[in-house]
Structure 1
Amino acid sequence: MKGLKPPAPFLLLLPAIVVLAVVVVVPLLLSLYSSFTPFRLTKPETFFVFIGLRNYLSILANTDFWWAFGRTVLLLTIALNLEMLLGLGLAMLVEKATRGQRILRTLMMFPMMFSPILVGFQFKFMFNDNIGLVNNALQSLGITRDAIPWLIEGHLAFIAISVAEIWSSTAIFAILILAGLLAMPKEPIEAARVDGCTPWQTFRYVTWPFVMPFAYIAMTIRSLDVARAYDIVKIMTDGGPAGRTELLWTLVARTAYSDGRMGMANAMAYFSILLSIAFTVYFFNKLAAARTQIGAEW
């Protein structure tokens, strides 16, 4: 029986393995199983009724799900592109600063210190019809006479949510791109200037290819965040008005807890995970290609 004694590393890791199994693996397996059942919170016995792929087939014909899916992809596209452009601009400005760069880096990270729930409350107040900072500023400047219903009209509410997401997470792009700029050797830039390249050509063909992998890392992180966006939308609009800002995970939560259809909600959740996986694979491929290009050129 001596030979059957588990090795010491396994015994040391065993408590962590047990905790992970209980906290992560078991709930995941139960949620996956329940996605193949008509499980309702009000009818616990339905957890043991197996219906196969019926929930997943229902999702394919569910227009509300596809509208939420489309809005999530739209928010992801808008947020990632604008955050990258703004983050790139901030990083380049901070990198050029000769004094107070540490203070600027700290200030740049300030929005990341707020929780998404607090950001949601912040922007809900700012875009309020009557007492909101945005409407008061626009009316004081004479740009509009009447209050704009930012959180009541569907398209405007989506814009308000996008602004909140972009404000809270642009710093991720700025910090990672700034790290790339600070790590970049100066000789290629000096050589480009000696060869007569314009500032745009230097950026386009020298600077940007080097910092591109850092931007793709930020995109990977943010794509996972936006694909499961919930807190800010829940606080600002709760998916309204009339479901015009309903995203994937607000729909999943509503289906699970308001309607009590936990089996259907879990099926939606696992279907939604495919979106996160798709974007992660896409950006990892882009990251690998950018690293290969840098290795070949530098």
Structure 2
Amino acid sequence: MALPQILPSTSSSIIPSKSHLNPPANSHLNHPLKPFVSSPSAPPPLHHRQWRRRPNLLRCSASSFSEKHHTNSPKSDDVVELPLFPLPLVLFPGAILPLQIFEFRYRIMMHTLLQTDLRFGVIYADAATGTADVGCVGEVVKHERLVDDRFFLICKGQERFRVTKLLRTKPYLVAEVTWLEDRPSANGDEDLNSLANEVETYMKDVIRLSNRLNGKPEKEVQDLRRNLFPTPFSFFVGSTFEGAPREQQALLELEDTATRLKREKETLRNTLNYLTAASAVKDVFPSS
């Protein structure tokens, strides 16, 4: 389900909807959110070719996200080398990202990754702000190599990282990175759970109103949180804000779960207010 167009038309979706590979079939959420936040600038040229048919939104499933905090994640003081793939999108931990690799330097990168650990850094870049310092590891969970040496990939977001040093730029970017983790909340898990439940309620209301505006049945929205802990749930919510990559990047960079959830709550509240007003107009002027 796509929400009404409430963002500037310069926003762009670049995730393909079909490939020779099928994404994991555990997606139960077919109504990602397009939040009421500004996203003023157009993205830079794509580093991968857009496929023939594109959906309006990135689709993510709460069941794609880890049920626990990242207990097996590297320690935040570890320093590693990581190949980077700049893209005009933001990948969150737990989110699924389909890609087609056709550019020569990234085909080289893929050949290297296939012989190592299949992990690379996805980092947001656009013409206005340049390349971000914080990104997310994408792990290749499925891949297909074509006869012309292109690759179809299904990647899953893993740990977040911060670039500390650029090591080389050719044939592709390689950087020294440290891992980024949320700090423990001072208010305790109980407050975080309450906040996460509030965010889920706003999401359901936004989806319900959006369905109404799009002439779809106003059926009850199912459980969106799926027993996720607050931190992975906050990443899931951020991943649904397709169309506002700068807002998504700001959410990705936050190191406090409560702050991230509060910001998402405010964005959803603004979206709900907009949809409520749009719904009232539709009731008065049905033909419009």
TM-score over 0.5 for the pair: no
Question: What TM bracket, shorter-length normalisation?
Answer: under 0.3
After TM superposition, the score normalised by the length of structure 1 is 0.24
Q: Which has the higher helix share?
A: 1
After TM superposition, the score normalised by the length of structure 2 is 0.25
Q: Which has the higher strand share?
A: 2
Greater gyration radius: 1
